[in-house]
Amino acid sequence: MSGYVLGLGEIDDTRVSLCGGKGAHLGELSRIEGVQVPPGFCVTTEAFDRVLRDAPSLGERLDLATDQKEIAARSAEVREEIERLGVPDDVAAAITDALHLLGEETPCAVRSSATAEDLPTASFAGQQDSYLNVVGTAEILRHVSRCWASLFTERAVTYRLRNGFDHRAVRMAVVVQRMVPADSAGVLFTADPVTSSRRISCVEAVPGLGEAFVSGLVNADMYRVLDDEIIEKTVATGQPVLTDEQAVHLTRLGRRIEEHFGRPQDIEWCLAAGGFQFVQSRPITTLFPVPETADDDNHVYVSVGHQQMMTDAMKPLGLSVWQLTTPRPMAVAAGRLFVDVTGILATPQGSAAFLDVADKADPLMGDALRTVLARKGFLPEGEGAGPPFPGTVPAEIDTDPDLVTELIGNAEASVAVLKREIQGKSGPDLVEFVLADFGELRRILFDPRSNQVIMAGMQATWWLNENLLDWLGEKNAADTLTLSAPHNVTSEMGLALLDVADAIRPHPEVVAFLQNAGDDFLDHLPGLAGGQEAYDAIQHYLGKYGMRCVGEIDITRTRWSERPAALLPMILTNVRNFEQGAAAHRFEQGRQEAWKKEQEVLERLLLLPGGEQKAADTKRMIDRVRTFIGYREYPKYGMISRYLVHKQALLEEAGRLAAAGLLESEEDAYFLTLQELHELTRTGQSYGEAIRERREAFKTYEVLTPPRVLTSDGEAINGSYRRDDLPDGALSGLAVSGGTVEGRARVVLNVADADLEPGDVLVTAYTDPSWSPLFVAISGLVTEVGGMMTHGAVIAREYGLPAVVGVAQATRTIQDGQRIRVNGTDGFVEILPTS
């Protein structure tokens, strides 16, 4: 056939640029043994380019659109122009010749096939038009033109813009295929779209061609198939559309297609004359990837991000740095880290201990793990107790405040040595020095005494909550007893930003300037009235906390010291909402509340049978928790302080590599592991193609949501709360900081967008230490991710904020501006009716 038209047999997956995603996949499908595809041809993108040559200004019209209304208007102009131009004569001649082979009066499907369609990263499903039962050459030509025009519908243009595709670079091919007189039709997913299990295939089937199903007018029969066995079947009406044997045979064909393409597929099929034919296959783009393993055994993974309050995708440098930091091996999937806990769960005592820790940290993770354990035969059954899991063994350590001071001093001294010794190093020597320094980082971070201090504080918290509930009926008593505990570097960070606001508030010119300041605002501050004082206060703050940022466990994230303007929304919120001296007042107020609670609890205990012993034990635990609980936040602070030193030196080296032409930019280094960066400095080996591929992959990872628990079958399990004690309509979560508060919900997904007023309740996906300065301005906290001892929970208790974490879909269920009630004692959130 001509350059404007190719038969499906001439097409394979290498011809996406010529035949679009759908056309390339259909050509590839037709090459798979045993897989039938209706005959047809593809009108190539060269034909589309031929049309655009007659209307060169079409792309420019879309470039002028700046908002949704303009996009709609200009898209309509472009579509009308394409349909008016129609099919050029030379293209029409090529299509007419191809139609002779199908039969000119044969009903055909005319289907759009854009070059940005059916891709591994974005399906573009439903964004362009397709037409069925088109008969006759004239009608085929008219509908080819309509398919071209559908590239510029408002929804298609908006979809491309939202997904980062340049509409000027996307081109349209059109597939023309003989219609199949189908007895039934439907969709086959070679992985379960609900659970993501790669072992389960799902079939949806309706009588006829399936138009009514696609239009939502009829329900489909549904079959779930595991290992050639139907494990679930739902028949929509009366007689099943497929026999069980047909459904199983269809899934076998689907597995053959999946194997050919190398990943799970979303397949459109039809059944005619007793045989299955396939009219489309595209990758399923919503599945979370499975970590690679060296064996075919079953594995269970838990998410590191849910424990570290950073569920976003990380770049390769960040992943490698975190893997060098932790002694526990970690698998990577979609830019996230997972720990393989199969061995821990394999023994009864090991699984019991781990589940106990998981329940305390994140009940949803505990429930998800129980879901896996309940499946007979999924995990091997081991014997014996296995090694004790951290957190299950009592911390044998005296309640000694000097130990905390010593540990902090050791960490600070070690960072000071690092800053001094890294000076002047470059090339392989620098990267080797950084690699070697992870030994020192781990020595400080995993000092056995440090872990004992952390565990002692956590265990004392649990002891107080459990025993005071039993003895006095007090829920979460430790929440008040730990207010304003010493050495909590994260809560101190939030209060210190109040002090920065104190330095700015008296100077109206500075306040006005900062409200519209850019990234270079520090350069201009000293020239304003009161600006030097503000400048000094901010620089002092950055000197102590500038290593922090959102998602700080990823070394590639921009630190506050690298972009101080990220602090301005929080500073201005504090200027607006607080009076001078608020930091010292709040800390002392918390300390007094904790002391009063301690006296109250001890007095009540003395009135109980055995009260003197109960009071003495409780006093010891209160002293223990106040001595140790604040240190819980310090090791991460020390680690991030070290990361900043590493990052600054590595970025300087990346600049030298870019200047030498070995990287295109400094930030290319973020898409290399630290080990690869070392190899680059040592040998000059090119990683250009790998960097480009990883940049593209990272875009797809960013839109995926990692599960709490992931199996080697690909099943994503997030767990659920199994409670029947909630008010009607309440959202269940984990109670992490006691008390109840009502207020306006502020749904904030980016800390830089926070615009808070006194009394607001912060609702977000997760919080890490960088969010802590916001806590001084809110009355309560709700997050989708978190546990009893994660940072948001710790700081909420420190500030006395009612908080509920682990509330599934909180940022989608709760609307910004709604009034909500947060019950941080019993662990639920209520959306209040509007007055």
Active-site residue set? 791
Helix ranges, 546-633 (H): 568-577, 582-606, 611-628
Amino acid of residue 23: G
Helix ranges, 546-581 (H): 568-577
Q: Give strand pairing partners of 41.
A: 7, 176
Cα gap 835→178, rounded to integer Å: 60
- Tokens describing residue 378: 């999924």
Cα gap 109→209, rounded to integer Å: 12
- Residue 8 contacts by C-beta under 8 Å, 6 or more apart in sequence? 23, 26, 27, 30, 37, 39, 40, 41, 42, 177
Cα gap 572→407, rounded to integer Å: 35
CB-side neighbour CA atoms (13 Å) of 203: 37
Cα gap 170→193, rounded to integer Å: 28
Please say whether the beta carbons of 422 and 386 come within 8 A.
Answer: no
- Residue 214 contacts by C-beta under 8 Å, 6 or more apart in sequence? none
Please say whether the beta carbons of 484 and 495 come within 8 A.
Answer: no
- Tokens describing residue 123: 């399906």
Cα gap 308→482, rounded to integer Å: 22
Please say whether the beta carbons of 344 and 379 come within 8 A.
Answer: no
3-class DSSP assignment, residue 185: strand
Q: Exposed/middle/buried for 217, CB within 10 Å: 0-12, 13-18, 19+?
A: exposed
C-alpha distances (whole Å) from 319 to each of 211, 388, 671, 673 are: 46, 27, 10, 8
Antiparallel, parallel or unpaired: β 108-114 and 5-7: unpaired
Antiparallel, parallel or unpaired: β 819-823 and 716-717: unpaired
Please say whether the beta carbons of 225 and 234 come within 8 A.
Answer: no
Please say whether the beta carbons of 151 and 128 come within 8 A.
Answer: yes
484 φ/ψ sector (left φ>0, alpha ψ -120 to 50, else beta): left
What strand order describes the sheet that includes 229-234?
Answer: 229-234, 221-226, 200-207, 184-189, 265-272, 275-283
CA nearest neighbour of 112 among 22, 205, 5, 185: 22
Please say whether the beta carbons of 544 and 769 come within 8 A.
Answer: no
- Phi, psi for 398 (deg, rounded to 5): -75, 155
DSSP state at residue 730: P
Antiparallel, parallel or unpaired: β 761-764 and 740-747: parallel
Please say whether the beta carbons of 355 and 366 come within 8 A.
Answer: yes
Cα gap 730→401, rounded to integer Å: 42
C-alpha distances (whole Å) from 506 to each of 502, 514, 531, 573 are: 7, 13, 11, 15
Please say whether the beta carbons of 787 and 805 come within 8 A.
Answer: yes
- Tokens describing residue 697: 């992959």
Rg (C-alpha) for the chain, rounded Å, is: 31
DSSP 511-532: HHHHTT--TTHHHHGGGSTTHH
55 φ/ψ sector (left φ>0, alpha ψ -120 to 50, else beta): beta
Residue keyed to tokens 């607001």: 760
Antiparallel, parallel or unpaired: β 761-764 and 780-783: parallel
